[in-house]
């Protein structure tokens, strides 16, 4: 075990997969000599050279098109879209080409493509560089979406995404790159669709991903002091999400909160709420509550942005409100 940051864990995962498989290559704006906007690809250019770590022009449409084409012919490209706000620019090719490749060819063509991007607010970057747009792709068949919340999962999930034969949107929480934790190089690859029980409990289930996982864990610690036992499920992969893990927890606790940084109408909350209404309604002792950002653009004002971001306090308020019903 070694204690490293999420940034370092992602870098290590990319390095290990570049070493492990000659078909893996990296492709994106400033990822080479510069090391990427968030320094996730630092030093990989020097180690693997310009044919494996490739700087591209400033064109998201060209990046995704080249990535899809390479995946079609058997390569395993990992492309970087600098900010998740710009996944709007790749929607046409990702939805209509990458996501449908396996279905339209009856499995003869796969698209093992990873799209790395950083998401979220808190960096005072304004409404065009701070969004959580994962909800845009929740309803698109053929696309998987992974979101790590700690270094161990960042390492294992990214390696699992690169080895997956489907396009994976890999979203990295912008404000968590410096979070430290233990990483074991010998840990198993984490497949898409497997959640993690981050904390066990019996009274309330909090389903969270990305930045809301540590906030939910802190809220759970405070709730314990007030006699409330909270189970926190780190979804890790939000498409597909781990139905068995979610149902097992909700059947036990009878109460559920969905916590996300995305707006209330976005993210995974609407899909999870519908799933629980269909599959777990008879086990619920209260309403399905959401902790999420307001349905507005991300404000630039520091005061407004701090209010906009879902907080540990808002998770705690939801826990108290739910157990009181």
What residues are annotated to the active site? 129
Q: Cα(124)–Cα(9) distance, rounded to whole angstroms?
A: 25
DSSP 298: P
SS3 254: coil
Could you write out the DSSP letters of every residue in 157-222? HHHHHHH-SS-EEEEEEGGGTT-EEEE-TTSPP--TT--EEEE--SSEEEEE-TTHHHHHHHHHHH
Cα distance between residue 39 and residue 36, in whole Å? 5
What dihedral angle (degrees, nearest 10) is formed by the CA atoms of 231, 176, 138, 82?
A: -170
DSSP state of 297: P
Note whether 128 and 92 are within 8 A (CB).
Answer: no
Sign of CA dihedral 278, 142, 132, 113: positive
Q: Could you tell me if 68 and 98 are in contact, meaning their C-beta atoms sit under 8 angstroms apart?
A: yes
Q: Which is it for the CA torsion 151, 156, 159, 164, positive or negative?
A: negative
196-199 and 230-234 as β-strands: parallel, antiparallel, unpaired? Answer: antiparallel
Non-local (6+) Cβ contacts of 92 within 8 A are none
């Amino acid at each position: 075990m070694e204690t490293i940051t999420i940034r370092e864990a992602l870098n290590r995962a990319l390095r290990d997969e570049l070493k492990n498989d000659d078909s893996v290559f990296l492709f994106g704006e400033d990822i080479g000599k510069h090391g990427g906007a968030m320094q996730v690809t630092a030093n990989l250019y020097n180690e693997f050279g310009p044919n494996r770590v490739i700087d591209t022009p400033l064109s998201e449409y060209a990046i995704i098109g080249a990535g899809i084409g390479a995946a079609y012919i058997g390569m395993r490209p990992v492309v970087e879209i600098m900010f998740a706000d710009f996944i709007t620019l790749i929607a046409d090719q990702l939805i209509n080409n990458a996501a449908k490749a396996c279905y339209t060819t009856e499995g003869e063509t796969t698209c093992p493509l990873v799209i790395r991007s950083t998401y979220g607010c808190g960096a005072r970057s304004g409404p065009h560089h701070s969004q959580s747009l994962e909800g845009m792709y929740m309803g698109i068949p053929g696309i998987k979406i992974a979101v790590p919340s700690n270094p161990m999962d960042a390492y294992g999930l990214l390696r699992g995404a690169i080895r997956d034969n489907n396009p994976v949107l890999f979203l990295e929480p912008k404000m968590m790159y410096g979070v430290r934790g233990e990483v074991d190089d010998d840990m198993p690859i984490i497949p898409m669709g497997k959640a993690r029980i981050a904390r066990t409990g019996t009274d309330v289930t909090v389903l969270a991903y990305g930045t809301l996982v540590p906030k939910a864990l802190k809220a759970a610690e405070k709730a314990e002091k007030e006699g409330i036992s909270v189970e926190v499920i780190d979804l890790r992969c939000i498409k597909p999400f781990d139905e068995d893990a979610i149902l097992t927890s909700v059947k036990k606790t009878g109460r559920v909160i969905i916590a996300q940084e995305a707006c209330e109408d976005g993210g995974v909350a609407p899909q999870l709420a519908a799933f629980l209404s269909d599959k777990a309604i008879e086990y619920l002792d209260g309403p399905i509550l959401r902790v999420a950002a307001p349905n507005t653009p991300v404000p630039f004002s520091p005061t407004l942005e701090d209010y906009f971001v879902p907080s540990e306090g808002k998770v705690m308020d939801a826990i108290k409100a739910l157990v009181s019903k």
